[in-house]
Structure 1
Amino acid sequence: MFQIGFPELLTLLVLMLLLVGPKRLPEVTKFFIQIWSKLRSQYEKISNEINNEIGTEEIKKDIFNDMKLQELELEENEDNDGGK
């Protein structure tokens, strides 16, 4: 989903410290971690449901099989042309 590295986390921590102060920082941090976890789990759930509904794995397999079939047909045509 989102890739947040150490510099981003440090920036967020400094901003939160400035906005809410050191006394409320642990409370606010805990709140945001809970929200982040819920959002992430919902995103994964929705993403999995969408993938299951549209059958992305089956589509990928079909595309792969079509590509292999085209390769085999090309090789067969080259063999037939070379044998003449």
Structure 2
Amino acid sequence: MLPRQRHTEVYELGVRAGLFSQDVADRLEELWIENRSESYYRTGIAGEYRAQTLLSLAGTLHEEVVALTRTQDCLCD
């Protein structure tokens, strides 16, 4: 069994992979902290259209970030 990860650990992984600076990671973590109660208490539940749009955005951002790296390798798999 894998060890339990913190929700914000992905930001540190991004810094270590050189995707963004520690400052950006800190700002992303602050944004998550500010908005996490909405997800925990389900007050910000997305409708299907919104969920599909965010999924599409995430895929596009992923492609852009991978394309910007020198090696163009994805560490996600």
TM bracket, shorter-chain basis: 0.3 to 0.5
Higher helix fraction (1 or 2): 1
Considering Cα pairs closer than 8 Å and 6+ residues apart, tell me whether 1 or 2 has the greater RCO.
1
Normalised by the length of structure 2, the TM-score is: 0.34
Structure with bigger gyration radius: 1
